[in-house]
Amino acid sequence: SQTIPQDGVLMVGPNFRVGKKVGSGNFGELRLGKNLYTGEHVGIKMEAQKAKVPQLHLEYRFYKQLNPAEGVPLVYYFGPCGKHNALVMELLGPTLEDLFEKFDKKFSMKTIAMIAIQLMTRIEYVHSKHIVYRDIKPENFLVGRWSNKKMNIIHIIDFGLSKLYIDPTTQEHIPYREHKSLTGTARYMSINTHLGIEQSRRDDMEAIGHMLMYFLRGSLPWQGLKTETLKERYQKIGETKRITPIASLCQGHPEEFKIYLENARGLGFAEKPNYEYFRNLFRGLMKKNGWDVDWEFDWI
């Protein structure tokens, strides 16, 4: 239920006052908010009730499945707000993309290895709830806020493109399918996603590999390709990914990243990734360099 008191304050549910707009995406907009009972600041994601492809309620259901867990924002409320649906959630800090740009697109090797370790744990947890994420990109990973000392915890947000890879009725893995429309962000998506193959756990793993290489290199060989149409751009990006050998993509960087990507690309459609093996790759890289896994990232 949503009420507009005389003074024109917009509320979501009984507790949450809607504040200023701080961002927007394909879903609608993000606003600051405040829990009037506790004084806590929150994030409020708004979506028009007449949205062509409503995804906010679906996203709310995924969050409820995942809450509470480290690295997943807490969700407090879902309900109407004027002509919008609103999802009220924990307010987080900057995205990995924000931080990467702030550091002139240069993260230390230690920071990238620790990002990798946390992401393995995060995606393993999401997969454990039978969810395939399908939108790996630095904009969707946010650190916590300074105020609550969570700047060293990387959170995964935005489940608008996610889906279940285990059928809730049969408990079977979803079937292999082709000719799927592209879902996700072209820069990071797996080669198989470009080919129209149904996404499963392996595609999240490969996309993380592409994102880690973006952090290592500062850019990817398939960035900035000029084409007439969006469809051609997706095709050209996919083509470039296919013809770029992993060895040359990872050249001059620790072999762990090459091993990671080879393994991720080698996974079968319904195969469960060996998250612990991947974590240990990057733990080994830390150890080799005499670094402690102390979560002292570049931005701390």
> Which residues form the catalytic set?
135
SS3 assignment, position 126: helix
Cβ neighbours of residue 268 closer than 8 Å, sequence gap 6 or more: 202
Dist. CA 253–CA 220, nearest whole Å = 14
From the number of C-beta atoms within 10 Å of its C-beta (0-12, 13-18, 19+), residue 235 rates as middle
Dist. CA 135–CA 181, nearest whole Å = 14
Which phi-psi region, left, alpha or beta, contains residue 252 (left: φ > 0; alpha: ψ -120 to 50)? Answer: left
SS3 assignment, position 30: strand
Dist. CA 37–CA 35, nearest whole Å = 5
Secondary structure E strands in 55-108 = 75-81, 84-90
